[in-house]
Structures are given as structure tokens and as C-alpha cells.
Structure 1
Amino acid sequence: MNPEEENIYIESYLLGNLSKEEVAIVEKRMSEDVRFRESVLLQKELYASLDESDWSFAKNVTPEKIQEYETLFKSKETAQLKEAILKAQSDYKKNTSKNGRSLFYYLSAAVVIVMITISVLLSKDQTSQDLYVTYYTTSDIPSLVSRGGEDDSELINAERYFENAEYTKALEILIPKVATVTKNKASVLLYKGISEMELGQFEKAHTSFDQLIHSDLLDAPMGLWYKALLYLKMDAPEKAKTILQQISSSSSNYKYTEAKELLEKL
């Protein structure tokens, strides 16, 4: 089942369109697969966030914050956004066979926009962990899989584990690869460091990122950005600031714009 098919399946589960047997299969998988469970919960929150009667995403915040959320969600701009999403939903139902896209994608786009607005509105209250979650992304890191050449089957597996958040399994492949690969070494160090960071193995992550930073590899500057994120995850904002200042010293540096934004928020 590819990601798009999986999202459509989750959507059917949340909308109550599955049989009892299929529901049992989904819930069993949720109990065994952390990534799948998070996908289900995310979609559930996305649906709930467009429902003015259900502020489930705000259960653990103060009444004052809930009021801010409600004001934003009931604003003219958000109403227009929701109207556009409902239209997209209608178009989706009419043209499912043509584009095969899940309603999840429309909802995701809408809620991401709204959440970005909330993020800006409440940025002064964000903790280091909040900022880590906001700025952490691996969408632009180089693939472990080579382009136009022979692929290393082990690295293909490592990347698959990494994308599924199975970091321990990814590390079983990546750790020995650090000493043997040459062509994709920067990517291996990045994936290794990020996996260690996500597992809370902070000292090991430091070592991986430093090894990349002090190398002569083309992607060495990427190590600085992820080391700054590592400090945020460790709740060490002052140390993160030092690295972010280094990144923001030149507009040619990797993640220059994001570094400047983060410095303002810290």
C-alpha cells in the first residue's frame, strides 16, 4: 500500500466507511506501528480542526490560548479558507477517478496554513521544543540512493527505515557505512546524526554532525543547521543561538533565512 492509498484507507476509517473486520485490522496496526498510529491521529486532528464545535487540538492549553485559537478560526480569512476547502472536497468527490487524490491532502494544506498563522500569532510563547518541531524537516536532505548509478541495497533499506521513523534499524546499517562509503558519505552522516537525535542519543548525534561539519564534503554546511536543531531538542537555546548566528552571518549559508527567523524567536 503506497502512502496515498494508505491516506485514503485512513480517511475511510475516520469517516466510518470500513467494515468491522477492516476496522479491527486498522486498530491492530495502530497498536503495532507507531508511524501508522501517528498518521491516523494526525488526520483525526486535521478533521477536528475544521470543526468549530471540537477544539480537540487545544485540550491542554489555557483558556486564554483557546480564546485566541477560536478568534483565529472564526475570522473572515479562515471562513474563506474553509469555504475553499469544502469546494475542494466537492470537486474531489466528483473527480476521484481522474486524480485519485485523497481529501487528506486538501485538509492538510488548509490546516497547515492555519497552523502557520497560529504559530506566528503565538511565536513569543514557543519553547525550544516547539521551535524544534516547527523547523525540523528532512525534506531537502540528499537521498542515500544515488542517481544514475548503481544503488547500494543496504542504503536503500536504511533510507526506507529512516522515512518510516525506524531509526534504530536505520542506524544498524548507517553506523558501519560511515567507515566504508565515499560517494554518499555526507548523506550517511546526516541520516546517522538525525536518527541519533530523534532517538535521544545526543552525544552520538553531536559526533556525527561535527564529523560532517569539519569535513571537506560539499554538504558539510548542512551539519551546522542540524546541530542547531539538536541544541533546541536538548533545550539548550543559548548554544543553538551561537550556531544560528554563524549560519546567519552570510546569505549564502545553508538555511540562512530560517536561521535568522529562529534567532528572532529565541
Structure 2
Amino acid sequence: MNLEDDILIENFLRNELSDQERTSFLERIKSDPDFKEQYLLEKQLHESLNEEDWSFVNTIDSKEADEYEALFKSEEIQNLKEVIKNASTNSKGDRSKVIRLLTGIAAAVVIGIFALRPILSPSVLDTNTLYASYADFNNLPSFAERSSEDINENLVTAEKLFKEKNYEKAAFTFNTILDSDKSLSGAYIYAALAESELGNFDKAIEVLNELESSDLIDSEKAYWYKSLVYIKANQVEQAKKELKSIIEKSLFNKGKAQELLKELE
């Protein structure tokens, strides 16, 4: 794996790719097994150094969570994290070999202390990649493409902010628009996705529940986007529930819902 791929993967993990680059990245993961393996290794290292992103934490009970938290904050693990940071930053050799070695060491330390579950197992569901793949920001409805007579300029501005990944301002603008006009189904979707990107999952679901309960023609799309928000929030069972509703009721994106449900099971 070359340096360019290392940089590409790092930029993806930091959410620094353009929409086009993001789409190409996800397509490559599907078609290139070696690249996918490298991505998963990089992701493991990224999560091992970021206590906010340990993907398993939402899938365990409170007792286990307390034990993991205590482990993560222990002096031994903090020292190990520092070693990993220094080695991955300073190594001039094959970075993938360094990552394999260090993530293996980290996993061995954790398993040796608690012997609870294989934290870095390749079978762990990669919800971030699933979300990014199925959310497909490039195919969201565009307000900018409509006639200027039919569209509020604030919507165009908000869409531009979203595409520039300025999610905080985009969420604020879309929510402000919705406060005065509840008839814009696309605005609900953009607002919810912006909130989701900010990690405001409860707010995202609240926005989509409002769309679902409306009499708008696109109200059924709320089920699909709620399933995506739940996936990003790592609430897999809730996501499955929404997907099953789509399939049973033959709602928007039924085919994709069937495909995604298989990925989750």
C-alpha cells in the first residue's frame, strides 16, 4: 500500500474528502479487497486513539461499558496510546506493517486484562462506511437546480453550506427555514443529515419524525433516513426496525432497504 492511499484513508476517516472523492473511495472499498483491508486497519488504529469513537461501546451493557471505560483511562493504556501515536507518526517504513503490529499489541493488552470480547475483530460491523455508502450525499435533491421563481434563496444557501461540509451552519439554516415553512420535505432531509453529521442524533430523528407525521408526499422518506441516522449512531436494532417497516409497507427505497438489512444481519 502506497503513501497516497494512506493519506486518502486518513482524509476519509477525518471526513475531509469532497463528495466526489468520498463516492470514489466507497466504490473502491467495494471492489478492492486489499484496499478495504488497509482501510479497516487504519480505522482500528484511528479508533484506538480516539476515545469518542470506540465503535463497540454502544453495543454493550452498562456494566461492561464501565469496565471498558476504566480500562481505557488506565495508565497502561494511556502509555500504550502514546507509543502508538509516536510510532505511527515517526515510522519511515511500511505504515501498514506498523499499524498491524500496534493494533495487535493494543488488542492483546485489552484482551489480556479483561478477556471479554475481541474488540478489533474484522467481523465488527462498520456502520460508518455503511452510512456513508447508503446516505449518498451526491444524489440528494438539489434546490439550486430549480427555477429561481420556485425556490427560496435561503434553501440554496443552506444546500451550499451542506455540500461544503459546514454542517453546523447548514443545520441552523435549514431548521430556521422549517420553523416558518413546514412544506419543504427536502429541507427536513438536509437538516436531519446535517444534525447527524454533527453527532446530534436525537435532533436528527426528531426532524425526521416531524417529516414522517406530516401530510407531505415525501413523508415516507423519513423511514429511510431514520434508518441511516440510527446506523451512524450505531443503534443497529433501531435501524433494522425502520428498514423492516420500509420493506413491509413498500415505501421509498424498498430495494435498498432489503440490501441494507442483509448487511446488518
Q: Calculate the TM-score normalised by the size of structure 2.
A: 0.54
Change (3 A) 1:148 1:173: closer
1:1-266 equivalences in 2 (<5 Å): 113-118=27-32, 125-145=124-144, 146-147=146-147, 149-184=149-184, 186-250=185-249, 252-266=250-264
Equivalent-residue separation in structure 2 for 1:216 and 1:47 (angstroms)? 52
Change (3 A) 1:109 1:255: closer
Task: Kindly indicate whether the alpha-carbon contact (under 8 Å) linking 2:26 and 2:129 is maintained by their aligned counterparts in 1.
Answer: no
Task: Provide Cα deviations, 1:132-180, integer angstroms capped at 9, x if missing partner.
Answer: 2232222333223443624322221111101111011112322221122
Which blocks of at least 5 consecutive residues in structure 1 are unaligned? 1-45, 60-106
Shift of 1:47: 8.2
Equivalent-residue separation in structure 2 for 1:153 and 1:160 (angstroms)? 11
Q: CA RMSD in A?
A: 3.5
Equivalent-residue separation in structure 1 for 2:130 and 2:27 (angstroms)? 17
Please tell me the residue identity of whatever aligns with 2:256: E
Percent of aligned pairs with the same amino acid: 26
Equivalent-residue separation in structure 2 for 1:187 and 1:126 (angstroms)? 29
Equivalent-residue separation in structure 1 for 2:220 and 2:206 (angstroms)? 15
Task: Kindly indicate whether the alpha-carbon contact (under 8 Å) linking 1:189 and 1:208 is maintained by their aligned counterparts in 2.
Answer: yes
Change (3 A) 1:222 1:140: farther
Shift of 1:181: 2.1
Equivalent-residue separation in structure 2 for 1:254 and 1:49 (angstroms)? 38
Task: Kindly indicate whether the alpha-carbon contact (under 8 Å) linking 2:183 and 2:216 is maintained by their aligned counterparts in 1.
Answer: no
Equivalent-residue separation in structure 2 for 1:202 and 1:125 (angstroms)? 21
Equivalent-residue separation in structure 2 for 1:188 and 1:110 (angstroms)? 26
Name the structure 1 match of 2:113: none
Name the structure 1 match of 2:51: none
Equivalent-residue separation in structure 1 for 2:4 and 2:217 (angstroms)? 42
Change (3 A) 1:219 1:140: farther
Please tell me the residue identity of whatever aligns with 1:117: S
